[in-house]
Amino acid sequence: MEQTTNLKMPFIMPSQAQKHVTHNEALQALDIVVQLSVLDRHLAAPPAVPAEGDRYIVAAAATGGWVGKVGQVAAWQDGAWAFHVPVKGWLTWVADEQRILAHDGSGWVDTIALGINPAAMVGVNTTADTTNRLSVKSQAVLFDNLGAGQQVKINKAAAGDNASLLFQTGYSGRAEFGLAGDDDWHLKVSPDGGAWTEALKVSRSDGRVLLPASLALTDQNQAAAKRHIRELLAANRSYFVRTDGSDTNNGLGDTSGGAFLTIQKALDVAASLDMAGFTVTIQVADGTYSGAIVVPAMTGQAAPSALVIAGNSGAPANVIVSTNNANAISAPSGTRCLVKDMEIRTTASGFGLNADGGTLQFQNVRFGACAQAHIVCQNNGVAIATGNYAISGASPMHWSAQTGGFINTEGRTATLAGTPAFSTAFASCRHGDIACAGMTFGGAATGTRYSTTLNGVINTAGGGANYLPGSVAGAAATGGQYA
């Protein structure tokens, strides 16, 4: 063996003359390859005026004095080029690129491309630790694309863990969003890093947006938000209506400066809520209210009795809903409501309670004079007496059930005052159903007791022909049933 295995430096042989020459060649080789640094790796031809000791990695398609030396280290020594063949594991600093290359046995590769995988900790301009294993201290961080989109992933082990972004001031948390404690999306804020308020929650199941901290209804800056985001109730809610109120108020106070002017405004505001199973009461003060009322569809309403329009329980005649050429209170399809403690009237035309596909419950209501009917149920609408009530005025019909409508007043007491007249019939049923068994009627009325046609059913449970108020016998025709 005449040279070393790795660096190929010549040995001084025992019989060799001029041993200093061999020794100097070895020193020159060491000078080239130890702490190796090259000026460039992209030259295919030797530079015109190299300096003593300059080193290069010969690029592909080499020419001139570098022909056949691609990938080798070329060093200018004593006026000539010396070449060294790299082996796997050599490292070199490339001065013009400010980077380190490594030889993998086939060629030179960038050590950055080789990567550090896995790395226990990485600190960029700061020190990483066992909690923050990747730490970056910088004015900005850029995640660039490779020609398409980019996605940042934060993965957690279990649903009860956190996968979130935390924003801090002085290393104290101020805002956090992500999957916090479950698999719903949360946004929460804090004034001090200790006390946190959840402002926003999005259900993972249906995308429903909730406002756990509620929406400030008195804040006019929230006007736009109120049109698009429902306040989630955390307790029962009351809105107040007074004859000296204003529909520009928020309805939350029982004062002229707090209450609404109209019942409809209160209902419309209530319809913007997510009731979340709680009860909303529209509390109406004494006085007369002339606006027609249409019950809106509610979100999160548990039962008809969870939306209440209430008047004066001790003196229902003091709260009057009176309309002209309009139904007093209507429940369209898909709506539900309880009406109580008030008097209902209509003039010219209009029903008192109109369950037009929806459901109306009522109790402690006084039915005054109505132009068409006190109670009508049509298009599968339902009206249910959940308490006793009174009849104080005349109407063509007290009950009218048609086209699938259903009226249920079973077991209730209806007190008639002043002998009201019913020009069509006290109970009119056409392709509908009236269940009125077990009732008690106080007072008297004039007019036909009942009329049932087209398979309509009036069920008194054997109350008899004179069971219902009136002065003229009732009649059943075209399949109508009175039982």
pLDDT in tens, the chain (483 residues): 565 555 555 666 666 556 555 555 655 666 566 778 999 999 999 999 999 989 999 999 999 999 999 999 999 988 999 999 999 999 999 999 999 999 999 999 998 777 777 888 999 999 999 999 999 999 999 999 999 999 999 999 999 999 999 999 999 999 999 999 999 999 999 999 999 999 999 999 999 999 888 666 555 555 445 555 789 999 999 999 999 999 999 999 999 999 999 999 999 999 999 999 999 999 999 999 999 999 999 999 999 999 999 999 999 999 999 999 999 999 999 999 999 999 999 999 999 999 999 999 999 999 999 999 999 999 999 999 999 999 999 999 999 999 999 999 999 999 999 999 999 999 999 999 999 999 999 999 999 999 999 999 999 999 999 999 999 999 999 999 999
Q: In what order do the strands lie in the sheet with 172-180?
A: 162-169, 172-180, 185-189, 197-202, 209-210
The two most distant CA atoms of the chain are separated, in Å, by: 150
Q: What is the pTM of this model?
A: 0.59
User: Is residue 58 a contact partner of residue 69, using CB atoms and an 8 Å limit?
Assistant: yes
* CA–CA dist 320, 340 (Å, integer): 11
* CA–CA dist 373, 424 (Å, integer): 10
User: Is residue 311 a contact partner of residue 338, using CB atoms and an 8 Å limit?
Assistant: no
Q: In this structure, what token pair is assigned to residue 481?
A: 């049933």
DSSP class of residue 160 equals T
* CA–CA dist 118, 104 (Å, integer): 20
Indicate the burial class of 154 (C-beta count within 10 angstroms; 0-12, 13-18, 19 or more). exposed
DSSP class of residue 111 equals H
